[in-house]
Amino acid sequence: MPPAGAGAAVALRRAYLAGVHSLAGHRQRGVDRVSTLSSAIPPSRVSWQQGSGVVATRCLRANMSGSFEQDKIGEDVVFPSQSQVVEESKVDLVKILKSANSIIPHIVLGSTILALVYPPSFTWFTTRYYAPALGFLMFAVGVNSSVKDFIEAIKRPDAITAGYVGQFIIKPLLGFLFGTLAVAVLNLPTALGAGIMLVSCVSGAQLSNYATFLTDPHMAPLSIVMTSLSTATAVFVTPTLSYLLIGQKLPVDVKGMMSSIVQIVVAPIAAGLLLNRFLPRLCAAIQPFLPPLSVFVTALCVGSPLAINIKAVLSPFGLAIVLLLFAFHTSSFVAGYHLAGTWFHKSADVKALQRTISFETGMQSSLLALALANKFFPDPLVGVPPAISVVLMSLMGFALVMVWSKKTEV
Q: What is the pLDDT at residue 168?
A: 94
Q: What is the pLDDT at residue 215?
A: 85
Q: What is the mean pLDDT of the chain?
A: 76
| Owning domain of residue 145 | 101-404
Q: What is the pLDDT at residue 34?
A: 41
Mapped onto helix, strand or coil, the DSSP state of residue 214 is: helix
**329 or 51, which is more confident:** 329
In a domain, 10, yes or no: no
Whether residue 363 contacts residue 231, with contact meaning beta carbons closer than 8 Å, is answered with no
In a domain, 289, yes or no: yes
Element (H, E) at 77: strand 77-79
Length of the chain equals 410
In a domain, 344, yes or no: yes
Q: What is the pLDDT at residue 375?
A: 82
C-alpha to C-alpha distance for 46 and 54, rounded to whole angstroms: 12
C-alpha to C-alpha distance for 205 and 230, rounded to whole angstroms: 10
In a domain, 140, yes or no: yes
Report CA-CA distances (Å) from 317 to 117, 179, 186, 331, 396. Answer: 20, 14, 9, 21, 21
The DSSP call for residue 62 is: E
How many angstroms from the chain centroid is the CA of residue 109? 16
Looking at the predicted structure, is the pLDDT value of residue 171 above 90?
Answer: yes
C-alpha to C-alpha distance for 383 and 371, rounded to whole angstroms: 8
Q: What is the pLDDT at residue 96?
A: 59
Element (H, E) at 68: strand 68-70
Q: At a CB cut-off of 8 Å and minimum separation 6, what does 152 contact?
A: 221
**Given pLDDT bands bounded at 50, 70 and 90, which one contains residue 99?**
low
In a domain, 74, yes or no: no
Among the listed residues 366, 401, 410, 403, the one whose alpha carbon sits nearest the alpha carbon of residue 213: 401
C-alpha to C-alpha distance for 35 and 96, rounded to whole angstroms: 42
* pLDDT tens per residue across span 190-216: 999 999 999 999 988 877 877 887 788
Mapped onto helix, strand or coil, the DSSP state of residue 79 is: strand
C-alpha to C-alpha distance for 164 and 40, rounded to whole angstroms: 61
Element (H, E) at 355: helix 350-362
- CATH classification of the domain holding 231: 1.20.1530.20
C-alpha to C-alpha distance for 84 and 50, rounded to whole angstroms: 12
Q: Which of 182-186, 229-233, 355-359, 360-364 has the lowest mean pLDDT?
A: 229-233
Q: How many helices (H) and strands (E) does the chain have?
A: 20, 4
Among the listed residues 285, 294, 296, the one whose alpha carbon sits nearest the alpha carbon of residue 90: 285
The arithmetic mean of pLDDT across residues 153-176, rounded, is 92
Among the listed residues 300, 153, 299, the one whose alpha carbon sits nearest the alpha carbon of residue 227: 153
In a domain, 21, yes or no: no
Q: How many domains does the chain have?
A: 1
Q: What is the pLDDT at residue 41?
A: 44
Largest CA-CA distance found in the chain, in angstroms, rounded: 132
Q: Which residues of 93-114 are buried (b: 16+ CB within 10 A; e: fewer)?
A: eeeebeebbeebbebbbebbeb
How big is the CA angle at 113 (ends 111 and 114), to the nearest 5 degrees? 65
Whether residue 228 contacts residue 269, with contact meaning beta carbons closer than 8 Å, is answered with yes
Mapped onto helix, strand or coil, the DSSP state of residue 78 is: strand
* pLDDT tens per residue across span 388-403: 898 888 889 888 987 8
In a domain, 20, yes or no: no
Among the listed residues 21, 116, 104, the one whose alpha carbon sits nearest the alpha carbon of residue 402: 104
In a domain, 134, yes or no: yes
pTM of the model: 0.68
Looking at the predicted structure, is the pLDDT value of residue 67 above 80?
Answer: no
C-alpha to C-alpha distance for 210 and 290, rounded to whole angstroms: 13
**Given pLDDT bands bounded at 50, 70 and 90, which one contains residue 261?**
confident
Among the listed residues 156, 189, 166, 220, the one whose alpha carbon sits nearest the alpha carbon of residue 364: 166
